[in-house]
Amino acid sequence: MGKTDRITERQLSVLIFVSLLSPMIRVLPTAAVLFAGRAAWLSPVAALAAGALFLAYTRWTRKNAPEDMGLADMALAGMGPVVGRIFNILCALWLTFYGGFLARAAAERLLATVYPNGNTPVFVVITLAVAVLAGSGLTKTLSRTAEVLMPILVGVIAVVLLSAIPEVTSENLLPVTYRDTREILYGALPIFNVITACVYFLFLTGHTRRPVSQRPNRFPWLVLLALTAFGVTFFTLGTLGENLAASMENAFFMVIRNIKVFGVVERVEAVVVAIWIVTDFIFLAAVLMIVSEIWRTVTGIKKRSFFVFPTAALSGTAAFLIAGNAFEFQKWSDLIVPAINLFFAVILIPGAMTLGKLRRRY
Amino acid sequence: MKKYLCLILALIPLLSLSGCAGLSIFSNYRQLENIELVRAVSLDLSDGGVNAAIYGTAGEESPARMYENPGPSVGVALGELILTPLGREAILSHTESVLIGQDLAKTGLRECLDYVERFSETRLDTDILIVRDGSARDLLAGLSGDETSSADVLSGLGKNISRLGEGYFFTCREIASSLAENGCALIQCVRGVKEEKLFDARGELDLESAGFAVARDGVVTDFLSDEETLGAMLLLGKYRSGNLDLPLGDQTVTVSMDLVGTDIAPRFDRDGALTALDITFDFRANVINLSGPVEITDSSVRRTCEEELTKIMTGAATAAVEKSRALGTDFLDLEGAVERRAPIKFRDMGADWQDVFLTLPVRIKGTSVLARTYDIADPPELSGKEDKSPWEKLTELLKDS
Amino acid sequence: MIRKKQPAPPDMSSDGAVTVAAVEAVFDGCYDFESRDLRIGGDQAQTARLCFIDGLVSGSDVAEQVIKPLTDPRRFSGNISAADVIAMLLGGSVYVYTAKSRDKLGELTGDLLNGFCALIFDKERTAVTFEVKSQQRRSVEAPKEEKVIKGAKDAFVETMKINTTLVRRKVRNAHLKIKEFNLGMRADTAATLIYIDGFTNEGIVAEAARRLSGIKTEGVLTSAVIEENIVDNYRSPFPQVISTERSDKFCMNLLEGRVGILVDGLPLGFLVPGTFSQFMKVPEDHSGHFIVASALTLLRYLAVFLTLLAPAFYVAVAMYHQEMIPTRLMQSMIEARSSVPFPTAVEVILMLLAFELLQEAGIRLPSPIGETVSIIGALIVGQSAVEASVVSPVVVVVIALAGIAGYTMPNQDMGSALRLCRFLMVLAAIALGMFGVATASAILVYHLAGLESYGVPYMSPFAGSEGRHLSRALFRRSMTVKRDREPELKTGDGGEAKL
């Protein structure tokens, strides 16, 4: 592993945060509202707690792993060369598909919101091309890109949400009682599902430097992500109401369609949707990087960038084949992909890490 | 590899510019000078479908134009209008109001709302208005004159009636949300009236508020009177200011509403059954005009005025509740109010709200306060009495307090 | 036929022996090369050859400080040997403060070219060189490009010695090291590497020295020769070396832990590592009030966004996202556009090109004419273009706004790079609207994030510095507050110091 391509744990956190903003906006608030109804705005709090526990567990499992050991290496060490390789290949295949899904989701969002007369392939190809450019570079460059973009993204969403305050009505948000706890927890499930995608980034931990003073189990990025999820759900639900929000595919972008910023611009959805594509670029580039990292470990070929373009080509193919139309894609987006993600991120990967830990391989 | 990648990245935008292979997003491109800016839309029922009309302008100096087109549905009728006869492309992104003819509203609003919600250009905060006693198209045409635009007149009316407490322009988002949550919604109605022109450049028609329409399951079922509209605004929290004339013997005291506080308190018995609904208002108003000699600083006179104010307002609220029950439609969202006030008891109530609501005793009470008279307290020329000495005024004040 | 034996040609390699013939062969055809025999102490038997390059040395100094004491019989009397003469010369028998013994031709020619005169003892194959540089040089003047109201008024000049003196006067520290390098294969140019020993990161010093000594060029006559050879990524249009004409700014950066480079013949100081945030700072930041300085720094960052994105944003909105324009503005824009024959894309590109042309013309022409051209361009051409409906007024406003914002860049190289990117942004906006602007911006940020200068991330402290020092880039803290050093520079004092 190149000693020059090192990032800090904090940089990895920022990379995860920026990457997960993309699926977060796709899922929220519709999925949370479908489960939790009017109380969905509290679901991010529950998701934060569950996410923190999940992250604490994954951190514990890799506590004693050497600094330059990524998840792919850990799998080989923990499960042996054969099973470890199978595990790695499975993860690589899933993430290749997931990359295609991300590219397609970004394209569908652009079509549904700003470019109604556009075509999916243009957006998919451009998104993949940018991701290949970033994915074939260094991990630290991608992390730094995320670092530069994070304040812009957070700033934009903060301005947008603050501008939406006059539209929010308490009738759409209240009442919420302790009896809604179950619904709130159900609503937390899709958010938790998004958060769990952070385990894929463990494949990049071979590039991280351990901090000198490690403060265990503190995840500021998770708090910020939960805060963003809370803001998006709160303002969208408060503006549209439970039923209307649940019936929309891009409820958040419908809300920002009405936002005027200081009378200078009337509608900001074009800007927000365009800026949000940056999170797709980052996540997709990270996914390509992760998959290449896995193939590098599996095959022993040192040059990681060798795998980026073929992975992107496969992801692109998946993006075009995944669904013939937006209705089918919605099915994938709502059900199939979250279910597979849950299997990989919550069962398979933590399971593999636990196995290695129990066998005292790291 | 990066070189090739950069080359590909550079070529992709050019590919999209060329428009070849149907990959272009250039089809979203519109030249500014070819745009017809639509600010108001009217939809009327026509033979076998919908007659859509748009009120567009091509710039500050250009005269506003109206284009209309019948079609089997809202989508088709408006879709065909997007390329106007002049070859300009109409864009609906700046549409402020959608006027719907009464007849079309009675057959169904869903399609209109759906179009506004679904079409990427239109905004959810577009005002939806129902035109009574005439077609929406005629109103749109009648409002515009050489120097007045119908969109400006509509927007002006929206602000005025809200300030005067005569109505409230509900947006598409509010109506759609209310229909989705309660199954019913209120919609502002307007009416065109022929009045003497204040100036020549004005349109043929003037616009006035015509109360609220009640939509249930996407269809307008009834209309509210002015009193019921006032009551509905009070109960929905949409009444923020307005002027009221209070009769006081031969004279009239005009007050401006300053503050309205509403408290909706459900009463449950020990078994958890909802027994009554207590609605309490707190009104605060300021005197802005006296029609003749009224001794407004006299506490008994003020008390009479306050009682009159309470009577008018609570009467309006009662009328609105009664109308709501008569229609069997909880357009006042009393269910939501009860649920917010006592969420657990409401859920434990067991009975269907619709059944409870129809027979539920609703007790409406109110208190009013006249807060100030804007400097001119009790001028002698109006009261007809001699000016009092400061001592007399102080004694009176102490007596009052 | 008896062939006459020809004398062997002199060895002219740099390691060749120092002989009169060899030196004269080296400078053969140089009309400014002067040489004459000199009798030491007036003794006919003991002669030496005095050589110098006219113009580089001061004639009066040569006569007074070298010839006069050399020919004085009281000083060099009797049958004194050449070896003794050399020893006496090096021991201080002439009045020149620098005397060097040279036995290699390369060293001798180097000295001659650097304002020394040489006394060649042919038989001993040795020369003694004396520094008698001509004082014909530009005196220290106030900075012309980087002006400040409250600040030092001594800018660097073309003479490196003066520049090192300016630095020494400001940083009176024995640990301030000035290492000399000779650059250029044909035009031998002296350069110095300046740093504070024990404080400046040794890695950066070593890397700067390595890159400086590795420069392969004919001669260092322009700043680009230095800059492009010592940066990490020479393909990037963004500046990675801080160049300044201000000696105080140069010293301030030395005190922050940077490495300075001075080159003879260039009135500029170069500093590495150069990061993006450094190019947003101006000397006034350290002379004005810290709150005002912070506000102005923020304004400059806003200017970066404006100059880069304003035209692209306008193109995207006008071509694809008209819904963003408020109704009244939209009406007036439609009105203004309706009389313009060109599409928005062409109109904006034309205006951008016109703007660049005017700027280029203004710079190239002598200053009074240049200013006139700028005024004609801005007022007459702009106004006429609008009146003739060649462009719409909004486009003029947008392009002018972007241009003015670009002028606020403290570093002209940064301004030029942003101008170049502005064109690319506009092209992306024309092709893909706001999506294109976002994509191009993401690629630009990725490019900047990938840059490093001597191991320091170019975008630090925005990226790659653990985020703790973000405020340092955006605000200037009061001088009374103990301030953090830039952690990326890894200075020897552990990162904490008070200026």
Mean pLDDT along residues A207-222: 73
For the beta carbon of residue C495, count every other beta carbon within 10 angstroms: 15
Which residues in chain B touch residue C428, judged by CB atoms under 8 angstroms apart? Answer: 13
Position C39 in a domain: yes
At how many degrees (to 10) do helices A71-113 and A349-358 cross?
Answer: 170
Is residue B300 domain-shared with residue B193, that is, in the same domain? Answer: no
Is residue B192 domain-shared with residue B266, that is, in the same domain? Answer: no
Count structural domains, chain B.
2
Residue A2 three-state SS: coil
Nearest neighbour of B28 by CB, restricted to A117, A171, A244: A117
CB A237 within 8 Å of CB A41: yes
CB B167 within 8 Å of CB B245: no
Is residue B299 domain-shared with residue B214, that is, in the same domain? Answer: no
Is residue C203 domain-shared with residue C314, that is, in the same domain? Answer: no
CB contact under 8 A, B343 and A177: yes
* End-of-domain residue from the set B154, B189, B223: B223
For the beta carbon of residue C252, count every other beta carbon within 10 angstroms: 19
Q: For an interface test with A, give the residue of C445, C451, C454, C469 to mutate (most A CBs within 10 A).
A: C445
Rg for chain A (alpha carbons), in Å? 20
Global ipTM: 0.93
Tell me phi and psi for residue C295, to 5 degrees: -60, -40
Chains that touch C (3 or more CB pairs under 8 A): A, B
* End-of-domain residue from the set B223, B254, B282: B223
CB contact under 8 A, B94 and C343: no
C421 at interface of B, judged by CB pairs closer than 8 A: no
pLDDT confidence band for C298 (50 / 70 / 90): very high
Is residue B215 domain-shared with residue B279, that is, in the same domain? Answer: no
Q: Note the pLDDT of residue B20.
A: 44
- Domain of residue B385, CATH code: 3.30.300.210
C343 at interface of B, judged by CB pairs closer than 8 A: yes
pLDDT tens digits, C106-148: 888 888 888 899 999 988 889 999 988 877 777 888 888 888 8
Question: Between residues C181 and B295, which one has the greater pLDDT?
Answer: C181
Is residue B108 domain-shared with residue B58, that is, in the same domain? Answer: yes
Q: Which residue of A has its CA nearest to B6?
A: A133
Is residue C81 domain-shared with residue C217, that is, in the same domain? Answer: no
Is residue C126 domain-shared with residue C198, that is, in the same domain? Answer: no
Q: Note the pLDDT of residue C4.
A: 54
Position A194 in a domain: yes
Q: Which residue of C has its CA nearest to A146?
A: C463
Q: Note the pLDDT of residue C496.
A: 46
| Closest among C85, C388, C324 to A262, alpha carbons compared | C324
Question: Which residues neighbour A144 within 8 Å (Cβ) at sequence distance 6 or greater?
Answer: A11, C449, C450, C457, C459, C463, C464
Count structural domains, chain C.
3
Is residue C257 domain-shared with residue C182, that is, in the same domain? Answer: yes
Q: Which residue of C has its CA nearest to B60?
A: C331
The single-letter code of the amino acid at B149 is S
CA A241 to chain centroid: 26
CB contact under 8 A, A244 and B173: yes
Is residue B114 domain-shared with residue B191, that is, in the same domain? Answer: yes
Dihedral in degrees, nearest 10, Cα atoms C464, C465, C468, C472: -110
Distances (CA, A) of A211 to A215, C54, C459, C466: 9, 64, 21, 11
User: How far C335 CA lies from chain B's nearest CA (Å)?
Assistant: 5
Question: Which residues neighbour A199 within 8 Å (Cβ) at sequence distance 6 or greater?
Answer: A58, A71, A345, A349, A350
Of the listed ranges A94-98, B23-27, C290-294, the least confidently predicted one is B23-27
Position A122 in a domain: yes
- H helical segments located in chain A: 9-27, 30-36, 43-61, 71-113, 120-135, 139-163, 181-196, 220-240, 242-247, 251-256, 269-299, 308-321, 326-331, 337-342, 349-358
CB contact under 8 A, B25 and C435: yes
Mean pLDDT along residues C264-282: 91
Is residue B216 domain-shared with residue B243, that is, in the same domain? Answer: no
CA A108 to chain centroid: 17
Position B272 in a domain: yes
Is residue C270 domain-shared with residue C305, that is, in the same domain? Answer: no
Count structural domains, chain A.
1
| Closest among C67, C76, C75, C23 to C45, alpha carbons compared | C76
Of the listed ranges A52-56, B192-196, C173-177, C307-311, the least confidently predicted one is B192-196
* End-of-domain residue from the set C221, C241, C274: C274
| Closest among B53, B55, B38 to B101, alpha carbons compared | B53
Is residue C118 domain-shared with residue C259, that is, in the same domain? Answer: no
Is residue C236 domain-shared with residue C312, that is, in the same domain? Answer: no
C462 at interface of A, judged by CB pairs closer than 8 A: yes
What strand order describes the sheet that includes B362-372?
Answer: B242-248, B251-268, B274-290, B362-372
Position C216 in a domain: yes
Give the largest Cα separation in chain A, rounded.
63
Position A85 in a domain: yes
Give the tokens for residue C240: 């990675």
CA A159 to chain centroid: 22
Mean pLDDT of all residues belonging to chain C: 85
Is residue C86 domain-shared with residue C208, that is, in the same domain? Answer: no
Position C469 in a domain: no
Q: Note the pLDDT of residue B288.
A: 85
Tell me how far apart the terminal alpha carbons of chain A are, to the nearest angstrom: 18
Q: Give the pairing of strands A7-8 and A208-209.
A: parallel
Count of pairs with CB atoms under 8 A, one residue in A, one in B: 94
Position A47 in a domain: yes
CA-to-CA distance for A287 and C201, rounded, in angstroms?
Answer: 37
Position B229 in a domain: no
Question: Between residues B143 and C294, which one has the greater pLDDT?
Answer: C294
For the beta carbon of residue A63, count every other beta carbon within 10 angstroms: 11
Give the tokens for residue B90: 């109409």
Position B216 in a domain: yes
Position C424 in a domain: yes
Is residue B241 domain-shared with residue B204, that is, in the same domain? Answer: no
Is residue B173 domain-shared with residue B63, that is, in the same domain? Answer: yes
Is residue B218 domain-shared with residue B101, that is, in the same domain? Answer: yes
Residue C2 burial (C-beta neighbours within 10 Å; 0-12, 13-18, 19+):
exposed
CB contact under 8 A, B94 and C428: no
Is residue C323 domain-shared with residue C431, that is, in the same domain? Answer: yes
Q: Which domain holds residue B80?
A: 31-223
Q: Is the pLDDT of residue C2 over 90?
A: no
Give the tokens for residue C136: 């014909």
Q: For an interface test with B, give the residue of A127, A130, A133, A304 to mutate (most B CBs within 10 A).
A: A133
pLDDT tens digits, A22-75: 899 888 888 899 899 889 999 999 999 999 999 999 988 888 888 888 899 999
- Domain of residue A166, CATH code: 1.20.1740.10
Q: Note the pLDDT of residue C338.
A: 82
Is residue B198 domain-shared with residue B110, that is, in the same domain? Answer: yes
Position A2 in a domain: no
Distances (CA, A) of B312 to B48, B75, B360, C401: 45, 44, 22, 58
* End-of-domain residue from the set B223, B252, B276: B223
Is residue B353 domain-shared with residue B258, that is, in the same domain? Answer: yes
Position B291 in a domain: yes
Position A16 in a domain: yes
Is residue C297 domain-shared with residue C366, that is, in the same domain? Answer: yes
Q: Which domain holds residue A79?
A: 7-358
Distances (CA, A) of C66 to C18, C52, C90, C94: 20, 12, 12, 6
Position C149 in a domain: no
Residue C377 burial (C-beta neighbours within 10 Å; 0-12, 13-18, 19+):
middle
Position A267 in a domain: yes
Question: Between residues B183 and C481, which one has the greater pLDDT?
Answer: B183
Q: Note the pLDDT of residue B18.
A: 47
Is residue C166 domain-shared with residue C127, that is, in the same domain? Answer: no
CB contact under 8 A, C333 and B16: no
Residue B93 three-state SS: coil
CB contact under 8 A, B28 and C443: no
Mean pLDDT along residues A293-302: 90
User: How far A55 CA lies from chain C's nearest CA (Å)?
Assistant: 21
Instruction: List chain B pLDDT tens, one digit each, 401 residues.
Output: 555 665 565 555 555 554 444 444 566 788 888 888 888 899 998 887 888 988 888 777 777 788 888 888 888 888 888 776 667 788 888 888 999 999 898 888 888 888 888 888 888 889 999 999 888 888 888 887 766 777 788 888 888 888 888 899 999 989 998 988 888 999 999 988 876 655 555 666 778 888 999 999 889 999 999 999 999 999 998 888 888 888 888 888 888 888 888 899 999 888 888 889 999 999 998 888 887 777 777 778 888 889 999 999 999 999 999 999 998 889 998 998 898 888 888 888 877 888 888 888 899 999 998 888 765 555 445 445 556 667 777 787 777 66
Give the tokens for residue C115: 């304002």
Count of pairs with CB atoms under 8 A, one residue in A, one in C: 101
pLDDT confidence band for C5 (50 / 70 / 90): low
| Closest among C353, C430, C419 to C391, alpha carbons compared | C353
Q: Note the pLDDT of residue B22.
A: 43
Position C8 in a domain: no
CB C459 within 8 Å of CB C236: no
C432 at interface of A, judged by CB pairs closer than 8 A: yes
Q: Which domain holds residue C228?
A: 160-274
| Closest among C55, C61, C66, C52 to C23, alpha carbons compared | C52
Is residue C254 domain-shared with residue C304, that is, in the same domain? Answer: no
Position A17 in a domain: yes
Q: For an interface test with A, give the residue of C302, C314, C324, C488 to mutate (most A CBs within 10 A).
A: C324
